[in-house]
Amino acid sequence: MKTKMKNHSKVFDSLEDYFSKMDQACIGQNSVFLDEKEKERYESILMYAFRKYRAVCYHLERVKQLIDDFNNEVESSDIQNNDQLPEKAKITVLKTADHFIYELAAFFEAMKSSVDFIATACSHYLKGVNTESIRTFIKLVEKNNKNSHFFNVINKHLSWLKDIREYRHHLVHRMVITTSEGFEAHKLGKSIQKTPYLVVAPKTTPSYFPDTRRCRMFDSDTKYLNRKKRVSIVQYPDGSQKLIDYSIEYTPPEGYAEISDFMSFHLQKLEDFFVI
């Protein structure tokens, strides 16, 4: 699900190539561009789509940076010097991390906007179609299944286009998904092992997401994570023990994904849609 940087250059190259063709396009009654003003407006719409695409990239990079910053904070936490801890202890730190959801909402808002601008630009070539939203083309494909290059592209990406519309709509208008960040540390003697928790997001829009005082008090995102644990301990003749290997691996539960992987997946889809 990781996004490859080469796809960014595909978007740049695709747009640059299209602008080169626009420069050579005729203007007049027999052209898609009646005058220079219309041509300028059309180019602006494509640039709006591109800038929204760049906003999508920004919000993904911002989430990755937030994750890195927290992991660095976990790594630098000075638990070893806490003399109050017993020889064997488990420490759990968990806190609300709504800033991830703010970025996720902005991510899908920018993505939906980019797709809408692409649809607006493409409608310029289709007689009888005037739209500022991808919704028009989704309806046309579902109703008529028209056969043309652009309608074939819509049909190919139809499931994804409907998914991002719904996800964005719920995040912006209906509800706010909550999430948390944290870590657990296990101490045995002087050995400390720290494991950050994954920040996860639902892959599809949940029909209902409770956000009550009771849920915030008793519920924990970590209980939904899949957990694998491995422990290796050496016990010496004097009875002392040493932790030589301790690892915990968390993976997202069914229906969820690590948030940056989830966003990378959808960015890849947007790039594929942009360059076709």
Mind listing the pLDDT tens digit for each residue in 127-143?
777 788 899 888 888 88
Residue 44 binned pLDDT confidence (cut-offs 50, 70, 90): very high
Q: Is the pLDDT of residue 1 over 50?
A: no
Residue 77 binned pLDDT confidence (cut-offs 50, 70, 90): confident
- Top mean-pLDDT range of 39-43, 59-63, 78-82, 171-175: 59-63
- Which residues fall within 8 angstroms of residue 108, CB to CB, at 6 or more apart? 164, 167, 168, 171, 172, 266
Q: Is the pLDDT of residue 149 over 70?
A: yes
Q: Is the pLDDT of residue 2 over 50?
A: no
**Inter-residue contact 179 to 101 (CB < 8 Å):** yes
- What is the pLDDT, as a whole number, of residue 239? 79
- What is the pLDDT, as a whole number, of residue 113? 96
- What is the pLDDT, as a whole number, of residue 70? 93
- What is the pLDDT, as a whole number, of residue 99? 93
Dihedral over Cα of 159, 165, 168, 172: its sign: negative
N-terminal to C-terminal alpha carbon distance within the chain: 20
Q: Is the pLDDT of residue 208 over 90?
A: no
Angle at which helices 36-76 and 259-275 cross, to 10° = 160
H/E stretch holding 238: none
Average pLDDT, the chain: 84
- What does DSSP assign to residue 96? E
Higher-confidence residue of 55 and 235: namely 55
The total number of residues written for the chain in this structure: 276
E strand map for the chain: 88-96, 180-188, 191-196, 200-202, 226-235, 241-251, 256-258
Rounded Cα distance between 129 and 137, Å, is: 9
- Which residues fall within 8 angstroms of residue 68, CB to CB, at 6 or more apart? none
106 exposed, middle or buried (CB, 10 Å; 0-12, 13-18, 19+)?
A: middle
13 exposed, middle or buried (CB, 10 Å; 0-12, 13-18, 19+)?
A: exposed
- What is the pLDDT, as a whole number, of residue 191? 72
- What is the pLDDT, as a whole number, of residue 216? 62
**Inter-residue contact 56 to 264 (CB < 8 Å):** no
Rounded Cα distance between 20 and 15, Å, is: 9
Q: What is the pLDDT of residues 256-270, one digit of tens each?
A: 999 999 999 999 999
- What is the pLDDT, as a whole number, of residue 4? 44
Instruction: Using alpha carbons, select from 148, 151, 210, 153 the residue that is nearest to residue 178.
Output: 210
Rounded Cα distance between 113 and 53, Å, is: 9
- What is the pLDDT, as a whole number, of residue 142? 86
Dihedral over Cα of 70, 74, 76, 78: its sign: positive
Q: Is the pLDDT of residue 61 over 90?
A: yes
Question: pTM score, two decimals?
Answer: 0.84
Residue 66 binned pLDDT confidence (cut-offs 50, 70, 90): very high
Q: Work out the average pLDDT over 231-251.
A: 77
